[in-house]
Amino acid sequence: MTALERFWQQLAQYAQQRPGKIALADEQGSIAYADLSTEVQQRADRLRALGCRCVALALDNGRDWLLWDLAILRAGLTCVPIAPFFTEAQRRHLLQTAGVDTLIGLPDDSALMREQGFASTSLGWQRTLFGVGMPSGTAKITFTSGTTGTPKGVCLSAEAMLQVADSLRDACSSLNPQQHLILLPLAVLLDNLGAYTALLNGASITVPADSGLHGSQLDMPRLLQVLNHYQPHSLILVPQLLQALLQAADAGAPLPRSLRFIAVGGGRVAPALLDRAEQLSLPVFEGYGLSECASVVCLNRPGQQRAGTVGRALPHVDIKLADDGEILVRGARALGYLGEPGSSDEYWPTGDLGRLEDGYLSILGRKKNQFITAYGRNVNPEWVEAELTSHPAIAQVLVYGEALPTNLALIVPRSTAFSVDDITQAVARANSQLPDYAQIGAWLTASEPFSAANGQLTSNGRLRRDSITEHYRPALLGLINEDIAL
């Protein structure tokens, strides 16, 4: 039996075993497991009747998003989630390259839709398209911008995604989380897979329309209100959200006592944050993954947890290191990139550098971001940046040291309440945790936060290192006394 068949079979069993239990809920209402399959099937039938093949979702977070996502999966069509933080240019690129024939949701710019040949219908927007190719078996195209402004389409099969969900369900089964809260945009693969995992576990999923996370901005009072109102058992967080929660707790804010499993991924987590979470008895489990491997690859879990690592590989995958330390993954891999020939290699090259000890993986940083100092030492900037941003005074930071005798840091303070002395102390504390070759020798404050709007962040929050370094080149050069070109 395939992972997809097991998924639908499991939902059918829950409809019989726990018919009255809520499967999906938001502020507008809920749907029980007894009615979930029927609702999904009706929507799938409607999509087939309208001749849909490639369906984009431009809805806000809510149970409707998940119902349409499940219906597209049930109908055997291709789903293309549109992230709410994508720019108009990125949305246009997505619609053109993916060959979307149906869009569910009403974007603000109807002129864009008509420009792309769409007509408004009762379902949303539709157009007739022929001849747009993608790998056979593509169930979802998840667009990730990486380090460039043009999103790249990763083509995933239903089997790959549900293999991951199966493994995640097993990983947290001993804690039996039965109330899952969605905080991240569902258009981002991480919490989309989290929803599949929760359904496989027969849990109730709540999707608040406003979780407090607005793009790269966080409304902390709203997030705390949501958490304490819904009292979830499980959450998926990115490192920035974990840091914000810990700082709120340190300031005296109450956190829900219901939490059993908090998965953290999407970026490197500073050890100091994980230590603080443990002190607060928060059940935080760090993991690692990438879109090209249908999200999660490794995860710390109950009984298999080691500090400073992202855990062991999940059962459906095998990992190894290349000669240069790059992490290679076999299993549940992408079918390929949209518009590019598929790879026949057995292992997917992740572009990340790692270290394996007793099966536990440590992430050292991006292969392409690693720099070599004037003394010939290799430094992964993400490692140093994670240490710096674990301090409450520092919100964002870029570390640079290519061919330099000392490493430089460009720092964005968390707020104007933090002084130069606070930043100095934060840098000193980070340096005390780092070997000499990775320590910061000089730093300056950025003139404004790094953001997608000023071209210094990707749409999913990663630093555009070349753009930032180029913009601040004169100021960075001013930090060193020697005439060294960056």
| pLDDT of 149 higher than 80 | no
pLDDT at 27: 93
Residue 124 near residue 105 (C-beta atoms within 8 A): yes
How far is it between the farthest Cα atoms of the chain? 74
16 in any annotated domain: no
Expressed as residue numbers, the domain containing 393 is 371-477
pLDDT band at 254 (very low <50, low <70, confident <90, very high): very high
pLDDT at 107: 62
Look at 378 and 292; give whichever has higher pLDDT. Answer: 292
**Rounded mean pLDDT of the chain?**
90
pLDDT band at 162 (very low <50, low <70, confident <90, very high): very high
Residue 298 near residue 287 (C-beta atoms within 8 A): yes
Mean pLDDT throughout 478-485?
Answer: 60
- The verdict on 280 and 164 lying in the same domain is yes
4 in any annotated domain: no
- Which are the contacts of 177, defined by CB distance < 8 A and separation ≥ 6? 198, 201, 203, 232, 233, 234, 260, 261
CATH number at residue 48: 3.40.50.980
| pLDDT of 145 higher than 70 | no
- The verdict on 443 and 313 lying in the same domain is no
- The verdict on 214 and 355 lying in the same domain is yes
393 in any annotated domain: yes
- The verdict on 26 and 96 lying in the same domain is yes
End residue of a domain, out of 157, 182, 203? 157
CA–CA separation, 367 and 353 (whole Å): 6
Q: Strand 119-120 to strand 138-144: parallel, antiparallel, or no bridges (unpaired)?
A: unpaired
pLDDT at 84: 83
5 in any annotated domain: no
pLDDT at 380: 85
484 in any annotated domain: no
- The verdict on 102 and 181 lying in the same domain is no
- The verdict on 252 and 306 lying in the same domain is yes
Residue 287 near residue 300 (C-beta atoms within 8 A): yes
CA–CA separation, 300 and 171 (whole Å): 8
End residue of a domain, out of 107, 123, 157? 157
Question: How is residue 67 annotated by DSSP?
Answer: H
Between the ranges 107-121, 127-141, 307-321, 369-383, where is the mean pLDDT highest?
Answer: 307-321
332 in any annotated domain: no
Count CA atoms within 13 Å of residue 463 on its CB side: 24
Residue 59 near residue 51 (C-beta atoms within 8 A): no
6 in any annotated domain: no
3 in any annotated domain: no
- The verdict on 395 and 470 lying in the same domain is yes
Which two three-digit tokens encode residue 192? 């989309």
- The verdict on 314 and 355 lying in the same domain is yes
Number of domains into which the chain is organized = 3
Residue with the two structure tokens 């747009």: 132
